[in-house]
């Protein structure tokens, strides 16, 4: 399953899999407990494939950050938990993405990234390569 079907919903813990669209929003299934919820269009929803992390030079797509974590951890869970203190989280993230913008990437963002990576890993979602749309766009640019 690609990251373009995985959602983060504001005010709700964890990640969700997009199941279907409805007239008033969509139905999503929690990756944590499998419960289905109906989400209205007014909710703050982010698709993981659309999220990028600020660096000093550019914005790095989240799937690239996940791939760097996967490479660092040799495909396993993160060596740092998402509930660690700010200093440990920043040290870990600096090892993963050395040029991240410390002024615009907060400890709360790093916590989410680590938590999301571990959730995806538990659910067997470990293919963090580019989505089909990005591959097509990149090949058209060349």
**pLDDT tier, 54 (very low <50, low <70, confident <90, very high otherwise):** very high
CB of 123 closer than 8 Å to CB of 31: yes
**CA distance to 10, 49, 113, 127, per residue, from 64 (Å):** 23, 10, 12, 11
Give the Cβ contact number of residue 20 at 10 Å: 8
Reading the block at residue 95, the tokens are 């090892």
pTM: 0.87
Give pLDDT tens digits for 83-135: 999 999 999 999 999 999 999 999 999 999 999 999 999 999 988 876 554 44
> Which domains can be identified in the chain, with CATH numbers?
3-48 (2.30.30), 52-122 (1.10.10.1650)
Reading the block at residue 64, the tokens are 């690239």
What's the pLDDT score for residue 128?
87
**Residue among 59, 129, 130 at smallest CA distance from 100:** 59
Q: Positive or negative CA dihedral for 33, 117, 67, 75?
A: negative
């Amino acid at each position: 399953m690609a990251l373009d079907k995985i959602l983060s919903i504001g005010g709700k813990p964890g990640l969700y899999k997009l199941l279907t669209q409805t007239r008033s929003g969509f139905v999503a299934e929690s990756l944590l407990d499998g419960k289905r919820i109906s989400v209205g269009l007014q909710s703050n929803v982010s698709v993981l494939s659309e999220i990028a992390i600020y660096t000093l030079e550019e914005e790095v797509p989240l799937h690239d950050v996940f791939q760097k974590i996967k490479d660092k951890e040799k495909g396993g869970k993160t060596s740092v938990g998402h509930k660690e203190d700010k200093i440990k989280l920043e040290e870990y993230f600096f090892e993963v993405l050395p040029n991240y913008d410390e002024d615009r990437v907060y400890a709360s963002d790093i916590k989410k990234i680590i938590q999301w990576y571990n959730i995806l890993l538990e659910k067997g979602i470990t293919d963090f390569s580019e989505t089909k749309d990005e591959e097509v766009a990149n090949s058209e640019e060349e």
